[in-house]
Amino acid sequence: MESKARVTAIGTYIPEKVLTNADFERMVETSDEWIVQRTGIKERRIAREDEFVTDLCEQAALNLAKNFNKSLEDVDMILVASVTGEYKFPSVSSQLQARLGLKNTGALDLGGACAGFVYGLHMANGLITAGLHKKILVLGAETLSKITDYTDRTSCILFGDGAGAALVEYDAENPGFFSYHMGTKGEGGRHLYQTGVSTTMNGEELANPGKLVQNGREVYKWAVSGVPKGVKKLVESANLTMDDIDWFIPHSANMRMVESICDRLDYPIDKTLTSMAYAGNTSSATIPLAFDFALQENKVKNGDTILLYGFGGGLTECGLIIKWDPEA
């Protein structure tokens, strides 16, 4: 089905508190050189003790409205991708509806982890193209600092907090969604998880209940081998080549991982947008953050073709090719 939707605005928010590599030198046995060499991360933003995902979402949505002169009053669906909402229920999206004072909107949370924001865009395109909605607010937001084990040297250096928002609107004349690709390897879920009401998975006891647990080596192997294949399928389904892609925005998990993926795609790293250097790995928020950072730096121009690719917890992946033309 041909798309009838377009991304018309982006907005983000990151907390004020900064956690630098020097801070980790005092917390665990590591160094700035070791962290930068292996991850490319220099800083992360950390939410205050009384600051939660809904707070971050609200600020990202307000920044979107302000920066693009957009009214949110007629938004008819809110989709929030997050795995760190402050409550099991009510949902972050319903809390955000109340904060923004939106009177006639649906509200739904997605649990796609690092692929969540792209899944949200995909769902928004589908709902609008099907004629069910006209204007959807999609957000990816996390407060991973609240579930990070700061004694785990291998993972605590990675994660930060932040939020990103996108507005997807009906536009049958100038649609902005070209193609999609998704995939899941659920048997790999034990390599990246946070326990909930169960502390076992497929009969195996899970470690460190309540905290984020990651087998970095296994996630790295899955991403570096699988993501390039998924990207190639995505590009082929749009009848394009990587030469047609102006910007590649993968999930900002780890700079070494992104470099390996680009190397396998033979795609230039200087046309790849990331957010981990000064925001850390923010899971569902990394892609909108990278997008907005590039807009602020005047890298992304109207009419550019952009490939978004989220991958991580699940293990799951989702990619989209869109045209950025908010004023079409």
Find the helix or strand (DSSP H, E) in which 128 lies: helix 116-129
Q: What 8-state DSSP symbol labels residue 238?
A: T
Contacts of residue 41, defined as CB under 8 A and 6 or more positions apart, other chains included, come to 21, 35, 157, 158, 254, 255, 276, 277, 280, 281
Of 21, 63, 254, 281, catalytic: 281
Cβ neighbours around 18 below 10 Å, total: 15
Of 21, 57, 114, 125, catalytic: 114
Give the Cα separation of 123 and 279 in Å (integer): 26
Tell me if residue 281 is catalytic: yes
Find the helix or strand (DSSP H, E) in which 139 lies: strand 135-143
Check if the beta carbon of residue 105 is closer than 8 Å to that of residue 139. no
Give the Cα separation of 152 and 201 in Å (integer): 21
Q: 10 phi and psi, to 5 degrees?
A: -135, 145
Letter for the amino acid at 126? G
Q: What 8-state DSSP symbol labels residue 272?
A: B
Give how far Cα 138 sits from Cα of 11, 50, 147, 306, 328, Å. Answer: 10, 24, 23, 17, 20
Q: For residues 190, 92, 300 and 328, what is the CA-based torsion angle, rounded to 10 degrees? A: 130
Of 133, 156, 251, 262, catalytic: 251
- The catalytic residues are 114, 251, 281
